[in-house]
Copies of this chain bind each other. A is one copy, B any other.
């Protein structure tokens, strides 16, 4: 039998061949990477490349592409080269589509008119989704799947028809179920702000690439935090829509047919407006006409007619967030208050997020993880520590009978119903229901490698199927974010998280927050993000 390392090799070779096509090749690369890679582009890229990749929002770039002030070829090449540098710095890529992307960009440049709202824009995507390139493969970071042909993903047909250029595919972790990004095929992706930290996961390749501005606009997927966690750890924007609004058919993934907890694709981006742009482009295509699992509902922008009522979740009742996260909550909630919004507290203790995790973790693996573990075993590849964490170390995970499955799904539904009724009750006294919850997207900033062992701050919103956006707020500041030495952890998870806390560990790490809305109120979450950022003094 072939060793797993040999089986994995073709994927790495394909990646390296793509990188080798970069013209001109990257020069002035340092022998030793600094802890924070963000200064690297200045020494490697041209002024023009820096301008193209740093000075514009996606909307501005699209305007320049539409007006032909910039050609798609030039823009695409700049992002190809910067993505190659991001790979050097963070190990975030699984392929660089040099030829395909340039061919596509030239084709778009050759047309008399823009083909759609994304005309000429380079878009990065998570590896296992597949892409539009010819004869592409997708392995989802399973050694056993190396070389398998990719599917035909409806979402990417839509983005393609809107005029984008696919140019880079990004890493995901083993089983696509870590809040970090490490696999036996591609190794470990690191945070561009601090290589001792993870960029999060499972869409951590996207997070690192976009934070490095090797991409401005990418696509991730989220079933427990996989868009929001890496977006937060990388200081960018991310949006997890309600499930079944964005099509996800055609990606290469596991446990197909499982419907206990649904995943969703969604945008990750350098700027806020890209989140709504993504949703609008996707839903304007009426994807439900081809994918009947989707909700038939156009994107309908929401407009607040009075100041928001924001509920702040200071902690989730299980694990106390680290000081920078609490500081961020304070800063933003105070800004909201000053802007005239109503601020109330969200009582997660009462809502039993611990119970939420028990249900969620069991429902991730109704077969006890057998399919996934079998695939690792088939290839002989080692089980990584965070795979063990999310399967073997969760006492709830077991192979279920049909009756046990129904029982758990009924518990899930009861949990969701209790949560909905609680939310509805928030309007009882003052006639104004809570609009959104402002909460941490994680217990802290980007964690040290292999320490992402608490999912509750993102996963409970997957259980509830609530839409959530994350947005950058601040950066860890060892001066301001001192450990609370007097705190006594409440339980084992809390102790684990508390002991990890040391502001020096998190040097330069971005701190994001999360905005959560009720199920299928995606438009309201995006509108609330705008209002909250305005309250923070942003445009």
A410-427 at interface with B (beta carbon < 8 Å): 410-411, 413, 416-417, 419-421, 423-424
A443-490 at interface with B (beta carbon < 8 Å): 464-465
The answer, among B257, B291, B402, B406, for a CB contact under 8 Å with A407, is B257
Q: Is A39 an interface residue (CB 8 A)?
A: no
Q: Is A399 an interface residue (CB 8 A)?
A: yes
A288-329 at interface with B (beta carbon < 8 Å): 288-293, 295-297
Q: A355 to nearest B CB, angstroms?
A: 16
Copies in the complex: 2
Q: A406 to nearest B CB, angstroms?
A: 3
Instruction: List, sorted by A's number, 23 A–B pairs whose CB atoms are closer than 8 Å.
Output: A257-B407, A288-B420, A288-B519, A288-B520, A289-B424, A290-B420, A291-B417, A291-B420, A292-B417, A292-B519, A293-B413, A293-B416, A293-B417, A295-B295, A295-B297, A296-B518, A296-B520, A296-B521, A366-B402, A367-B403, A370-B403, A399-B402, A402-B405
CB pair B409–A258 under 8 Å, yes or no, is: yes
Q: Is A255 an interface residue (CB 8 A)?
A: yes
Bound: A259/B257 CA distance, A: 12
> Interface size (A, Cβ < 8 Å)?
45
The answer, among B255, B370, B413, for a CB contact under 8 Å with A257, is B413
CB pair B408–A257 under 8 Å, yes or no, is: yes
Residues of B near A257 (CB, < 8 A) are: 405-411, 413
Query: Which residue, of A249, A401, A411, has the highest number of chain B Cβ atoms within 10 A?
Result: A401
Chain B's closest residue to A466 (CB) is B292
Query: Contacts A295-B295, A420-B290 hold; do A402 and B520 have CB atoms under 8 A apart?
Result: no
Q: A423 to nearest B CB, angstroms?
A: 8
Bound: A405/B403 CA distance, A: 12
Q: A445 to nearest B CB, angstroms?
A: 31
Q: A478 to nearest B CB, angstroms?
A: 42
Q: Is A26 an interface residue (CB 8 A)?
A: no
Residues of B near A371 (CB, < 8 A) are: 403
Residues of B near A409 (CB, < 8 A) are: 257-259
Chain A contacts to B: CB under 8 angstroms: 249, 255-259, 288-293, 295-297, 366-367, 370-371, 399-403, 405-411, 413, 416-417, 419-421, 423-424, 464-465, 518-521
Query: Contacts A290-B424, A292-B416, A293-B416 hold; do A406 and B255 have CB atoms under 8 A apart?
Result: yes
Residues of B near A520 (CB, < 8 A) are: 288, 295-296
Chain B's closest residue to A419 (CB) is B292
Residues of B near A400 (CB, < 8 A) are: 402
6 tightest A-B contacts by CB? A257-B406, A257-B410, A257-B409, A296-B520, A292-B420, A367-B402
Chain B's closest residue to A295 (CB) is B295
Q: A442 to nearest B CB, angstroms?
A: 24
Bound: A73/B367 CA distance, A: 57
Query: Which residue, of A256, A257, A290, A521, has the highest number of chain B Cβ atoms within 10 A?
Result: A257
Query: Contacts A296-B519, A367-B402, A403-B367 hold; do A417 and B259 have CB atoms under 8 A apart?
Result: no
The answer, among B292, B297, B410, for a CB contact under 8 Å with A297, is B297
Residues of B near A370 (CB, < 8 A) are: 402-403
Bound: A366/B297 CA distance, A: 31
Chain B's closest residue to A423 (CB) is B289
Bound: A417/B293 CA distance, A: 8
Residues of B near A424 (CB, < 8 A) are: 289-290
Residues of B near A401 (CB, < 8 A) are: 367
Q: A523 to nearest B CB, angstroms?
A: 11
Q: A397 to nearest B CB, angstroms?
A: 12
Q: A418 to nearest B CB, angstroms?
A: 10
Residues of B near A258 (CB, < 8 A) are: 402, 406, 409
Residues of B near A408 (CB, < 8 A) are: 257
CB pair B290–A421 under 8 Å, yes or no, is: yes
Residues of B near A399 (CB, < 8 A) are: 402
Q: A279 to nearest B CB, angstroms?
A: 15
